[in-house]
Amino acid sequence: MQVNGEAYFFINVWMNFLSLYLAGTLCRLRIRQGRCLVSALLGGLYALLAWEIPFLRHLPFLCLIAFFMVLLAFSRDFLRPFPMLFFSAFLLSGISGYLMENSVSCLWILFFSAAFSLWISRIFRRGMIRPRNGLRLLICHHGKSVSIPAFRDSGNLLSEPITGLPVIVAPHSRLTHILPQSIRPQDLSTLPVGWRLISIETAGGKKTLMAFHPDRLQLQGKNALHSLDALIALSDFAEKRALLPEAIFHQEEETNASL
């Protein structure tokens, strides 16, 4: 199958975008489609130059352009998806190469590549994050993510007074990877802008916890991921697991999705 310059550029942009999407998914990063598209366009321009200048196809140049693509798509955490980009591109190039050898049209190549990317992403999200027992909470914030064990706590009736959102109590020690280093839960003066304060009563008395609204929140239960809308309150007494309020499960019952 012969491909002209315009089609070659478009196919490369599409494959670059899918490769970045897969790399970000495998690294559990937040996917910003606009940044990924700009990065994919950069890769497409490089592919056109390499088509005219074969010397640019050498491995050092490929690594350099891949580095800039990942840096542009995942500016805050670009080291992890860098090797995954090569892995994703290898998978997609194998599929597209096989289809091209069998004279499959460009449109079908693009379709099958997208379907394969979505399939792999779905398997990863439902399999790799799946806990052996109980529930698990995936928290994504400012381009970073962390997965921690979770527990249904019938005694957790916390909610944010203004928005009415339920409040999940999570151990601060498990979330340090995705939070600003300046935060100290015991020192309320380190409360970041945009965060809230949640008052709770425990056996030891009243406490005030720092809370934030994550960019994305998902709960793993019974082989399925459930998107949630809740605040995360940082605690120093919840050592291992996030304490899920009953309101979380009421949300799922209302949408006929049992956890």
Residue with the bigger pLDDT between 167 and 153: it is: 167
Contact 168, 141 (CB under 8 A): no
d(CA 259, CA 15): 36
Using pLDDT thresholds of 50, 70 and 90, give the confidence band for residue 4.
low
pLDDT in tens, 45-95: 998 888 888 888 888 888 899 899 998 988 767 777 888 888 888 878 777
pLDDT tens-digit map of 179-188:
888 888 888 8
Q: What are phi and psi of 24, to 5 degrees?
A: -65, -40
**For residue 53, how many C-alpha atoms fall within 13 Å in the half-sphere facing its CB?**
8
| Residue 7 scores a pLDDT above 80 | no
Give the C-alpha separation, 246 to 241, whole Å: 15
CA–CA–CA angle 131, 23, 1 (5° rounding): 130
67 SS3 class:
helix
Q: Which residue has the tokens 């970000």?
A: 24
Residue 129 has pLDDT above 50, yes or no: no
Which of 79-93, 124-138, 240-254 has the highest mean predicted lDDT (pLDDT)?
Answer: 79-93
Distance between CA atoms of residues 158 and 12, nearest Å:
49
The residue among 165 and 132 whose pLDDT is bigger is 165
> For residue 259, what pLDDT band results from cuts at 50, 70 and 90?
very low
Secondary structure of residue 242 in the 3-state scheme? strand
Share of the chain above pLDDT 70, in %: 80
Q: What is the CA radius of gyration of the chain?
A: 22
Query: For 256, which DSSP code?
Result: T
- What does the pLDDT look like over 17-39, one tens digit per residue? 988 888 888 777 777 888 899 99
Give the distance from CA 21 to its chain's centroid: 10
Higher per-residue confidence, 259 vs 33:
33
Task: Give the pLDDT of residue 140.
Answer: 92
182 by DSSP, 3-state: which? coil
For residues 152 and 154, the model is more confident at 152
- The b-or-e profile of 198-229 (16+ CB within 10 A means b, else e) is bebeeeeeebebbbbbbeebbbbbeeebbebe
pLDDT at 205 over 80: no
Give one DSSP letter per residue of 136-171, joined into a string: EEEEEETTEEEEEEEEE-TT---B-TTT--BEEEEE
Return the closest-CA partner of residue 100 out of 194, 170, 11: 11
pLDDT at residue 131, as a whole number: 41
